[in-house]
Amino acid sequence: VCSAVQNQDFTLIDDYVTGLKTLLYLKSLDGLADWTGQSPPTPVHQRGKSLLATGQSLPAFGPYKQRREALEHELLRTRDLLKPDPASTGLAQRQRPVVKPVPKVSDIVGASVGLVGNYYDLDNKQQVVALVNDDLCINCGKCYMTCNDSGYQAIEFDAETHLPRVTDDCTGCTLCASVCPIIDCITMVPRVGEYVPKRGVPFGAALEQKQAAVIMPAQDSPA
């Protein structure tokens, strides 16, 4: 599983490192002392620019991109361009002075211990699966590759539109969400229906075959 993630690139580790550094610096800002790292939902965008709802799943390349741009051009003609762009608003525009020193990593060791519970408190019947946002997707194929590298093969990649589609074989391992370069492009949602594992061999068949096998005694070689 780890090799399936690391085979893509080093961005996963870089996200962990830069994210931890960001949390440490934000704890030194006034008004964010109690912030636990949760962020608001990511608006639909491409390269930081908000996307208009077109009602169609159009990739961002080739003739699909031209079709998307034509639809957006028609929608922009009736839109108030003086309104602020929702994709550019947020915490980034608010300047807060530093009121205390930036904490060290050792200062937050064990901060999540109180959130760790017993495994048996979880309901194994409550499972999640991956859901890909077609508007945020940049058609890089990393989710498809890591799912195949790990052996699940639960993501199909359309040969024409390059849009990934998650099948019912998804186990909710979140590998695809870990390697996706676009934040919130892949989200984990509750599974509809019961998951049926596909192990290739019916349950108990291997044990029955083993019990039914007869070990022939070794025969003495002729004199």
pLDDT for position 91 = 46
Mean pLDDT by 10 residues, the chain (223 residues): 62 80 82 70 63 62 77 75 60 58 85 87 85 87 90 88 90 90 90 78 65 56 53
DSSP secondary structure, 114-159, as one string: GG---GGGS-TT--EEEEE-TTT-----HHHHHHHHTT---EEE-T
CATH of the domain at 186: 3.30.70.20
* 32 and 75 within one domain: yes
* 27 and 82 within one domain: yes
* 88 and 177 within one domain: no
Instruction: From 96, 114, 132, give the residue that closes a domain.
Output: 114
Spatial separation of the C-alpha atoms in residues 132 and 129, rounded to whole Å: 10
pLDDT for position 132 = 93
pLDDT for position 202 = 67
Q: Give the range of the structural domain holding residue 147, as residue numbers without chain letter.
A: 116-190
For residue 66, tell me if it sits in a domain. yes
pLDDT for position 207 = 64
For residue 222, tell me if it sits in a domain. no
* 125 and 100 within one domain: no
Long-range contacts, 158-163 (Cβ 8 Å, 24+): 161/57, 161/59, 161/64, 162/59, 162/61, 163/57, 163/59, 163/132, 163/134, 163/137, 163/139
* 98 and 32 within one domain: yes
For residue 176, tell me if it sits in a domain. yes
pLDDT for position 131 = 94
pLDDT for position 63 = 80
Q: Are 171 and 152 in contact (CB under 8 A)?
A: yes
Domains of the chain: total: 2
For residue 4, tell me if it sits in a domain. no
